[in-house]
Amino acid sequence: MDGNGRWAQQRNKRRTAGHKAGVEAVREAVSYARKKGIQALTLFAFSSENWQRPKDEISVLMDLFSFVLKSEVKKLNKNDIRLKVIGDISAFDEKLREKIRAAEALTKSNQSLILNIAANYGGRWDIINAAKSLFQKVSSNECSIDDIDEASFSQHISTHGLADLDLLIRTGGDHRISNFLLWQCAYAEFYFTDTLWPDFKEDLFAKAVEDFSLRQRRFGLTGEQIMTQDIEPKAC
């Protein structure tokens, strides 16, 4: 979700006004994903690198996160949406952590959409975390080193249990991953748009999905194999 600051600056407002405006785009994205029957939507709300921003911007972002968690959770629950926060939440203050735990607990049985909020998240952190958990299991003889493969590793990644990432959308005009779902991106399709996040409304999300649906995903096979044979392409 990139471009909040620029959206505000273009309107001679403070960057934080862009973050506030971005909340409405979040609502639209969640409602569109729910309506479309998308299994999971992961929103990159705050990266592990975002701590380096000015203190007052971080403080507004934390307050906003806390406020939105509280104000939206009932609606999410009513719409059968499961909320999960992925990232190292130990860095957040106890009040926020409590709100996160409460929202996750309330929505934990919901199945229509998994909404992952990546907060204090980094793709490398995610991979290292998985490596640490597996190392612990090997050290305590719960599994052997030979049991470690892509499938077992995936079980220790923050999005475990979900299918591989299909589509990664980045708004705001930059063409990079910025330490987002690195492990999960292996076979994802990428969609970049210049639209700034607060302007990324339902029709633009639909356009990205439409673009994605027209792509031929080959997963290492040839185009002919995909067209002519009954091969189920598989991400490894």
| CA dihedral angle for residue 144, residue 146, residue 151, residue 156, rounded to 10 degrees | 40
User: What residues numbered 22-81 form the site for Mg ion, per CB under 5 A?
Assistant: none
Range in contact with ligand IPE (rule: CB under 6 A) among 2-10, 120-128, 159-167, 212-220:
2-10
52-66 burial: b if 16+ Cβ within 10 Å, else e:
eeeeeeeebbbebbb
Strand, helix or coil at 80?
coil
Q: Is 16 in the site for Mg ion (CB under 5 A)?
A: no
Number of Cβ within a 10 Å radius of residue 49: 11
Q: Is 110 a catalytic residue?
A: no
Q: Is 46 in the site for ligand IPE (CB under 6 A)?
A: yes
Q: Is 5 in the site for ligand IPE (CB under 6 A)?
A: yes
Closest contact distance (angstroms) between CB of 1 and ligand IPE is 5
Q: If contact means CB under 5 to 8 A according to the sort of partner, which of Mg ion, ligand IPE, none does residue 30 touch?
A: none
Residue 189 makes CB contacts below 8 A (sequence gap 6+) with 166, 167, 168, 212, 215, 217
Q: Which of 2, 116, 120, 126 is catalytic?
A: 2
User: What residues numbered 25-44 form the site for ligand IPE, per CB under 6 A?
Assistant: none
d(Cα 188, Cα 208) in Å, to the nearest integer?
13
Closest contact distance (angstroms) between CB of 192 and ligand IPE is 14
Q: Is 183 in the site for ligand IPE (CB under 6 A)?
A: no
d(Cα 21, Cα 18) in Å, to the nearest integer?
5
Q: Is 4 a catalytic residue?
A: no
Q: Is 2 in the site for Mg ion (CB under 5 A)?
A: yes
Q: Which of 4, 50, 149, 211 is catalytic?
A: 50
Closest CA to 155 of 169, 171, 180, 137: 137
User: What residues numbered 58-87 form the site for ligand IPE, per CB under 6 A?
Assistant: 61
Strand, helix or coil at 120?
strand
Q: Which residues bind ligand IPE (CB under 6 A)?
A: 1-6, 46, 50, 61, 172, 197
Q: Which residues bind Mg ion (CB under 5 A)?
A: 2
Q: Which amino acids are annotated catalytic?
A: 2, 50
